[in-house]
Structure 1
Amino acid sequence: MISSPQVSHHPPVSGFYCECPEKRMCVNAHVWTKSKFMGVSVGVSMVGEGVLYLLEHGEQYIFTLPCAYARSILTVPWVELGGKVSISCPQTGYSASVTFHTKPFYGGKVHRGETNHTGAVVCRAQGEWNGMLEFTYSSGETKTIDTNRLSVTRKRLRAVDRQGPEESRRLWKHVTEALRAGNMDEATEHKRHLEEMQRNDERQRTATKTPWTPKHFNKQGEGWVYNRPLWETH
């Protein structure tokens, strides 16, 4: 099960929650983005963090998010990740820093990443985050994972006509259809209509002093938490 709605308009924060009851694992995260132009690229900073819950072990792994870069936006665009991500577990004291390397201007490979450690090392990881990854443990044992060979489960969605009025695929249905048809003017007009409708809703909430209340997430401190998480139902 996955849920990923927008939970705040100012700033525009999105909440994310996904779970696998069979593995007793779930992830709760929130993020908002800050973009900047960099010549022929666009850099996007991901502001926020996530928590991976391993319920079988009673452990929580808190992680930050890498930056995303849209390259060659004037020709054939492509996307890569870059920057450092921190991961820490308060229950075990384990922590790591993961560096996502951006492609050098001349030569070099894309989509590379590696872990950086201080103190005792349990495991080192390096390779391509969307390709072959190699893990070397303190015991000397090594493992490799080819992410291209991992099984992919296609997502299942409720039919659009059975979705709620604020669900993305129903709300943006006409924009999507116009884009697929290559009609940019019609897509722009539908998008303008939706955005103006949302601005009117916001003005009405402000006038009546009605707070914005997400359906699936609750504000806790600086973050947002899914209102029926796996760790509370098991």
Structure 2
Amino acid sequence: MNLVPPAELFSHTCIDYADADYKAPNFVQRLFSLFRNVRPGSDLTNFQLPPQFNIPKSQLQFFGESAYLFGKDFLHQCNNAGSALERFISVVAWSISTTRAPAFGVAPYNPVLGETHHVSRGSLNVLLEQVSHHPPVSALHATDEKENIEFIWCQHPVPKFHGTRVEVEVLGKRQLKLLNHGETYMMKSPKLNVKFLPPRIDWIGDVNICCQETGLEAELCYVTSSLFGCRGLHSVKGKIYQSSSMKTLYEVEGHWNSTVKVKDINNGKETVIYDAKEVFSELKTPVVETLQRIWPTESAAVWSEVNSSILSKNWSKARDEKSSVEDNQRKLAKERNSKGETWVPKLFTVSYSKEDDWECSPIQERVPPAPIVVPI
């Protein structure tokens, strides 16, 4: 197993999520050149970017960062709030904190089948596996023994090209369990909207968050601007209500890249529940604590040579190394097909239905501490 030096494994982890738009007209022209032979409405799931358009990181790592890379610990707040309503509001804030956008014009690598990512932050242990390649599906399991919290996510991105933009529908179930309170919160993800003109990345669409045990529910709407306007850019609006009576308790309004407030319907009092600066300030780069414990399937190991080449801007070698990783995946798939074998995930059981889409269940009850840690 070859790894780049530990200090370089996560050199591009801490990007500025609060202001991730990258504006460069020449970059837009290069992007258009990539898509000139792609028809509007086409599924880009299998579309491969040249390494010049990649950041040295796998999409599996990027997905995992929304669980373990943060400045403010919303999970502690979710678990220790005094009432069910306060916990629900904290869960809404936590859900907003996971909607992060990459820099414009660049993207992580598409994970290979069986790729894993294992990171710890304090008592929070996070483990991911790429459970399907066609279509791409990532599973995430995280447990915090100190807080007695568990969350399980399943992510199936479906990117489609629409002429001047790419829209990524993010399918799959997400659940957060506050085990001390016997509460499970179900939620989904908004869509990622990448506009070429003007260059911009935003989240759009509706998100429902519900807790069956408390009967509380939230409806959030992520809104972007029109072609020439900017009023709705990065905005999120919605309400928190009691599902049995449909009575609205709080109105939600703000911007996911700055602040979000809730307004108490009874007294009109407004409270800031989310501040992006708190979440994304003073982010700590993960470090390798035990190199020998890193699995060969770890993202940093799978892509180590590609990462090293991109960091040194050796684009010819980066292209060759990336092709090598992808060719090896095709070779393994061909060998399985010739033997009539079906690949089975090692860490999750996976099910699919047209109504519920992908659902991933972890095999282990608890995630063990990882060899890669985020300093606190």
For the aligned pair, the TM-score class normalised by the smaller chain equals 0.7 to 0.9
Shift of 1:196: 1.1
Which residue of the partner structure matches residue 156 of structure 1?
286
Given residue 168 of structure 1, which amino acid in structure 2 is its aligned partner? Answer: S
Which residue of the partner structure matches residue 219 of structure 2?
97
Q: For each residue in 1:135-154, what CA deviation from the matched residue of structure 2 results, as whole angstroms up to 9, or x when unmatched?
A: 12344343113231246552
Q: Taking structure 1 as reference, are residues 179 and 201 closer, same or farther at Cα in structure 2, changes over 3 Å only?
A: same
Residue 189 (structure 2) pairs with residue 65 (structure 1)? yes
Q: Please give the alpha-carbon distance, in whole angstroms, between the structure 1 residues aligned to 2:164 and 2:364.
A: 43
What is the TM-score with the length of structure 2 in the denominator? Answer: 0.56
Which residue of the partner structure matches residue 87 of structure 1?
209
- Assess if the C-alpha contact under 8 Å between 2:309 and 2:318 holds in 1: yes
Which residue of the partner structure matches residue 302 of structure 2?
171
Which residue of the partner structure matches residue 364 of structure 2?
228
Higher relative contact order (CA 8 A, sep 6+): 2
Residue 253 (structure 2) pairs with residue 130 (structure 1)? no
Q: Please give the alpha-carbon distance, in whole angstroms, between the structure 2 residues aligned to 1:55 and 1:88.
A: 16
Q: Please give the alpha-carbon distance, in whole angstroms, between the structure 2 residues aligned to 1:206 and 1:13.
A: 20
Shift of 1:116: 4.1
Q: For each residue in 1:172-202, what CA deviation from the matched residue of structure 2 results, as whole angstroms up to 9, or x when unmatched?
A: 0111111122222221111111111111111
Given residue 301 of structure 2, which amino acid in structure 1 is its aligned partner? Answer: R
Q: Taking structure 1 as reference, are residues 155 and 229 closer, same or farther at Cα in structure 2, changes over 3 Å only?
A: farther
Given residue 9 of structure 1, which amino acid in structure 2 is its aligned partner? Answer: H
Given residue 125 of structure 1, which amino acid in structure 2 is its aligned partner? Answer: V
Secondary structure (helix, strand or coil) at the match of 1:121 reads strand
Which residue of the partner structure matches residue 112 of structure 1?
235
Deviates more, 1:160-169 or 1:191-200: 160-169
Shift of 1:40: 3.1
Unpaired stretches in structure 2, ≥5 consecutive residues: 1-124, 353-357, 368-376
Deviates more, 1:31-40 or 1:219-228: 219-228
> Which one of 155, 179, 194 corresponds to residue 31 of structure 1?
155
Shift of 1:46: 0.6
Shift of 1:25: 2.2
Which residue of the partner structure matches residue 185 of structure 1?
316
Secondary structure (helix, strand or coil) at the match of 1:97 reads strand
Q: Please give the alpha-carbon distance, in whole angstroms, between the structure 1 residues aligned to 2:224 and 2:140.
A: 26
Secondary structure (helix, strand or coil) at the match of 2:309 reads helix
Q: Taking structure 1 as reference, are residues 101 and 229 closer, same or farther at Cα in structure 2, changes over 3 Å only?
A: farther
Q: Please give the alpha-carbon distance, in whole angstroms, between the structure 1 residues aligned to 2:316 and 2:283.
A: 35
Residue 334 (structure 2) pairs with residue 203 (structure 1)? yes
Which residue of the partner structure matches residue 14 of structure 1?
138
Given residue 277 of structure 2, which amino acid in structure 1 is its aligned partner? Answer: N
- Assess if the C-alpha contact under 8 Å between 2:128 and 2:139 holds in 1: yes
Unpaired stretches in structure 1, ≥5 consecutive residues: none
Q: Taking structure 1 as reference, are residues 160 and 39 closer, same or farther at Cα in structure 2, changes over 3 Å only?
A: farther
Secondary structure (helix, strand or coil) at the match of 2:139 reads strand
More helix by share: 2
Q: For each residue in 1:12-48, what CA deviation from the matched residue of structure 2 results, as whole angstroms up to 9, or x when unmatched?
A: 1011122333332222111111112233322111111
Secondary structure (helix, strand or coil) at the match of 1:105 reads coil
Given residue 137 of structure 1, which amino acid in structure 2 is its aligned partner? Answer: D
Shift of 1:95: 1.9
Q: Taking structure 1 as reference, are residues 67 and 165 closer, same or farther at Cα in structure 2, changes over 3 Å only?
A: same
Q: State, as a whole percentage, how many aligned pairs show the same letter.
A: 24
Which residue of the partner structure matches residue 216 of structure 1?
347
Shift of 1:51: 0.4
What is the TM-score with the length of structure 1 in the denominator? Answer: 0.86
